Structure 1
Amino acid sequence: MSIVAPTQFSFKIPAWFTIEPQSVATFDRSYIILAVAMYMIGLVMVASSSMPVAERLFDNPFHFVIRHMIYICLSLLIAGATLQIPMAKWHQHSGNLLLLGMGLLVVVLLVGRTVNGSTRWIVVGPITVQAAEPAKLFFFCYLAAYLVRRRDEVLENVKGFIKPLVVFGALASLLLFQPDLGTVIVMFVTTFGLLFLAGAKLWQFISIAAVGLSAIAALAYFSPYRWARVTSFLDPWKDPFGSGYQLTQSLMAYGRGEITGQGLGNSIQKLEYLPEAHTDFVMAVLAEEFGFIGITIVLLLSMTLVFKALMLGRKAVQKEKYFEGFFAFAIGIWFSFQAAVNIGASAGIVPTKGLTMPLISYGGSSMIIMTIALVVLIRIDHEMRLQTIQATASHKKKGGRK
C-alpha cells in the first residue's frame, strides 16, 4: 500500500526582487525598476506642482519640467560613467574625495550664490552645483574606508572613535556657515548609524548622542530663525499667516487628499498658496492629488530601496567586503533618514529642514548625487555577483578535472 503525500503549495519570490543571485544575471534589475518608478513619479509631480509658479516667473509653465527632465537625463549619463568605476577605486581615492568635498564647501562660502539668506550654490555658467550634496556622498565614502582601516581601533579605544567625528565636525562647521543645519543632521545620523553597525561600544553611542543632541538643540535655540521653525512646528496654527504659514498650507494639502486624493492636477495648494511646492514640499502636493494611497506607494518604493541597500551591506560584510558593506549601509541610512525628514516635515511630524525627497523632488545636484549613490549599490551588487559566478565556475572546473 503506497501513501500519497499531500500536494504542497509554495510561493517563490521573483528572482529580480531578491538580494541573492538566482541566476547568472550580473546585476540586480530591481534597483533599475525602483529608480525608474521614482523618476517617473517625481517628473509627474514636479510637472503638476511647478506650473503655476513657472508661469508667473518665466512665462513658461513647463520651465521646471524641462529642467527636471534634463537633470534626469544628465543623471543617467553620469550613472553610466560611474557604473564603470570599480569599488576598489572608490576605496583607494576616498581621502581625495573627502578633500574635494571640503574644497567645494569652502568655495561655496567664497563665491557661492545666496538665495533666501543661504549661500549653498556654486554657479559655473549654466550649471549650478549645491556643494553639500557631493560632500555628503564623499564623506560617507571616506567614513566607510576609515572603518575598514581602523575598525579595531574604533572598537577598542576612544581615539579611533573620535577621529571620524573630528572630520565630521570640520564638515559640519563649513555647512553651518552656509547655513545648512539639515545636511549636518543627515550626516550626523548616518555617521551615528554606521558606527553602530560597525560595532562601536554602547557607552560611546550614548556619549555621542548626548553631545550631538545638545549641540543641535543649542544651534536651534540660539538662532532666532531656527527657533521660530521649532516653535511654529509645535503649533503652526498659532501664527498661520507668519511663521506657521508653510506648514499650515502643507497640512491643508494633506487634509484635502484624504484616502484617494483630488486627482492629478487638481491641487489647490500648489496655486502658489504653498511655497516650494515642487521642491521641499512636493510630497504635500502628491498627498493632495493622490491621497493616502499615493503617499503609501512612494513610501513603499523608498522602503524597498532602503531595505535592499541594508541587506546588500549585510551580505557584503558577511563576505568580508567591508568597505562595500559599510558604504551600502551608509547609503541606506542616508536615503531612509532624508526621505523620513522630507515627508515628516511636510506632514508636520518634524520641523522644516529643507531636504529634498530622494529621486523625486526638483533639484539637479540632489538628483545626480542620489543617482550616483544608487549606482554605487548596483556596482557593489554586480561585483559580488561576478565573484560568486567566478567562484562557481572555478569550482566546476576543478570538479571536471577530477
Structure 2
Amino acid sequence: MSSATPLRTSTPIWQELELSKPARLHHSLIWAVLILSALGWLMVTSASMDWAQKNFDNRFHISIRHFIYLSVSIAVAWFVMRTPLSVFRRLSGIAIILAVVSLILVLIPGVGREINGSTRWLSLGIMNVQPSEFAKLATVLYMASFLERRRDEVQSKWSGFIKPLFILSLLAMLLLLEPDFGAVVVLMLSALALLFLGGVKAGQFFLTAIIAVSASVFILAGQTYRLKRLTGFWEPWTPENVYGSGYQLTQSLIAFGRGEYTGVGLGDSIQKLFYLPEAHTDFVFAIWAEETGLVGALLIISIFAYLFYLGIKIARTAYQKEFYFAAFIAYGITLLIGFQAFINLGVNMGLLPTKGLTLPFVSFGGSSLLASFIGIGLLLRVHHETGDHHEQR
C-alpha cells in the first residue's frame, strides 16, 4: 500500500505506539551505530580527562556525562523506533513550528545562552540544549511530508519548489543570527538534496544552488571572523595565522602527524593537553587519529561510509515500494548524518574551513547525541515498515 493513503486522524497518538509488538530490526545498522558510539565514548573519555580534571576536579566528569547522554539517547531511539511513521507525519507541521519558536527563543537576551561568542543554547538547568540539532530533524519531517503531499506540484510547478524554500530561508536566517553557519550549510545541503530527489526540474535546482552559493559567499565576505577562518584554512602555517585564525587547524594537523600509521597509543595524546581547543567535541577525531593513527582514522571513516550506504539502501527500498514519506525521511536523515560527518572529518583533516559542527555519535554533546539517535530510530522505523524483512540482516 502506498504511503499516500489517507490517514485516520481520530485515533489518539498514544494508541498508535507499538511498545509491546516485536520489531523487525536492521541488525547491521544497529551494530554500526553501537560500535561507532562505543568508540566515540572511548574517544571522548581519552580526550577530556585532563580538561575535566582541571575544570571539575574529576578526570571522568565528561565521560560520565557522555555515558548518561548516550544511555538516554538509546532509550529515546528505541521509543522512536516503536512509533509508527503515521504519527510523525501528523506531527511534522507542529515540529517545524516548534523548531522556529525554539530558534527564536535562543536569540532572546536572558533566554539564550552564549558560549564561545555564539548564542546557540537554551539552559534547562541540568544541561544545555542546542535547538539547531532538533531543527534539522524537524526540517526533514516537514520536507518529507511536503514532498509526499505535493509530489505532483513539486515536479511540475514552480510553486511546489518555492514554498518549502520560504521555511528553509526562515530557518537559515535564524541560524545565521546565532550565528551557526555550519548548521545552515548542513540544513541547506540536505534540504536541497531532498528537493532534487523529490523530482524538481533540473533548471530550478541548479538556479537555487547558484543562489545559495552566491548567498554563502556574501555571508562569508560580510563577517571579518569568517574571512579570517578562510585565510587560516588556506595558509594556516603563516606567522599571523598559526597562533590566530589557523590555530585549531595547525594543532589538529600536528595531532594527525604525530599519529602516523598506528598512533601513539590510547591515552598518550599530547595535543589534548590544552594544545587543541574543543578536543572532546569538534576535534575529537584529531585526538583519535593521534592515538590510533591512520588505522584508527580509516576505521571511523569506514564505519560512517557503511552507515551512509545502509541509510541510502533503506531509503531506496522504501521509494521503490512507493512509501514516499518513509523514503524521504530515510534520505533526509542519512544526508543529515552524512553531510555533518563529512564536514567535521574534513575540518579535522584540514580539507574544509573550521566549522563548529560535532561528529555524529562520537563528539561530546547531549543535543547532538540525542538528535543523531532520534534519526537512527526513524531509520529503523522506516526499515520496519518498508524493508525486505525476509533477508537476514
TM-score normalized by the length of structure 1: 0.89
**Alpha-carbon deviations, 1:151-189, whole Å to 9, x = none?**
111111211101111100000111111110100000110
- Who is 1:211 aligned against? 211
1:27 correspondence with 2:25 = yes
- Who is 1:197 aligned against? 197
Instruction: Give the CA deviation at 1:25.
Output: 7.8
Which fold has the larger relative contact order, with Cα–Cα distance below 8 Å and residues 6 or more apart in sequence? 2
CA–CA distance in structure 2, aligned partners of residues 144 and 181 of structure 1: 24
**Alpha-carbon deviations, 1:95-128, whole Å to 9, x = none?**
1111111111111111111111111111112132
CA–CA distance in structure 2, aligned partners of residues 71 and 25 of structure 1: 24
- Who is 1:243 aligned against? 245
CA contact (8 A) 2:112 2:120 kept: yes
CA–CA distance in structure 2, aligned partners of residues 311 and 103 of structure 1: 34
One-letter amino acid matched to 1:225: Y
Show structure 2 runs of 5+ residues with no match.
1-21
CA–CA distance in structure 2, aligned partners of residues 231 and 159 of structure 1: 40
Instruction: Give the CA deviation at 1:385.
Output: 4.5
CA–CA distance in structure 1, aligned partners of residues 94 and 83 of structure 2: 15
- Who is 2:128 aligned against? 128
CA contact (8 A) 2:99 2:135 kept: yes
CA–CA distance in structure 2, aligned partners of residues 227 and 245 of structure 1: 15
CA contact (8 A) 1:344 1:350 kept: yes
One-letter amino acid matched to 2:340: Q
Show structure 1 runs of 5+ residues with no match.
1-23, 390-402
CA–CA distance in structure 2, aligned partners of residues 77 and 127 of structure 1: 18
CA–CA distance in structure 2, aligned partners of residues 250 and 115 of structure 1: 21
CA–CA distance in structure 2, aligned partners of residues 178 and 113 of structure 1: 10
One-letter amino acid matched to 2:231: T
Within-5 A mapping of 1:277-296: 277-296=279-298
One-letter amino acid matched to 1:282: V
Secondary structure, aligned partner of 2:272:
coil
CA–CA distance in structure 2, aligned partners of residues 269 and 67 of structure 1: 22
- Who is 2:262 aligned against? 260
Question: How many equivalent residue pairs?
Answer: 365
CA–CA distance in structure 1, aligned partners of residues 123 and 23 of structure 2: 41
- Who is 1:187 aligned against? 187
One-letter amino acid matched to 1:307: Y
CA contact (8 A) 2:37 2:362 kept: yes
- Who is 2:274 aligned against? 272
Distance 1:191 1:348, change over 3 A: same
CA–CA distance in structure 1, aligned partners of residues 127 and 290 of structure 2: 32
- Who is 2:233 aligned against? 233
CA contact (8 A) 2:23 2:82 kept: no
CA contact (8 A) 1:27 1:385 kept: no
- Who is 1:13 aligned against? none
One-letter amino acid matched to 1:310: I
Within-5 A mapping of 1:45-194: 45-110=43-108, 111-194=111-194
Instruction: Give the CA deviation at 1:259.
Output: 1.2
Secondary structure, aligned partner of 2:86:
helix
- Who is 2:349 aligned against? 347
Which segments of structure 1 move beyond 4 Å, counting only runs of 4 or more? none
- From 280, 305, 308, the counterpart of 1:306: 308
One-letter amino acid matched to 1:89: V
- Who is 1:17 aligned against? none
One-letter amino acid matched to 1:224: T
Secondary structure, aligned partner of 1:113:
strand
Secondary structure, aligned partner of 2:242:
coil
- Who is 1:327 aligned against? 329
CA contact (8 A) 2:317 2:387 kept: no
CA–CA distance in structure 2, aligned partners of residues 84 and 311 of structure 1: 21
One-letter amino acid matched to 1:55: Q
Instruction: Give the CA deviation at 1:30.
Output: 1.3
Secondary structure, aligned partner of 1:93:
helix
Q: Which has the larger radius of gyration?
A: 1
CA–CA distance in structure 2, aligned partners of residues 27 and 53 of structure 1: 39
Instruction: Give the CA deviation at 1:384.
Output: 2.0
One-letter amino acid matched to 2:333: I
State, as a whole percentage, how many aligned pairs show the same letter.
Answer: 45
CA–CA distance in structure 2, aligned partners of residues 50 and 385 of structure 1: 40
Instruction: Give the CA deviation at 1:236.
Output: 0.6
Within-5 A mapping of 1:369-388: 369-385=371-387
One-letter amino acid matched to 2:96: L
CA–CA distance in structure 2, aligned partners of residues 371 and 360 of structure 1: 11
CA contact (8 A) 2:112 2:123 kept: yes
CA–CA distance in structure 1, aligned partners of residues 124 and 264 of structure 2: 41
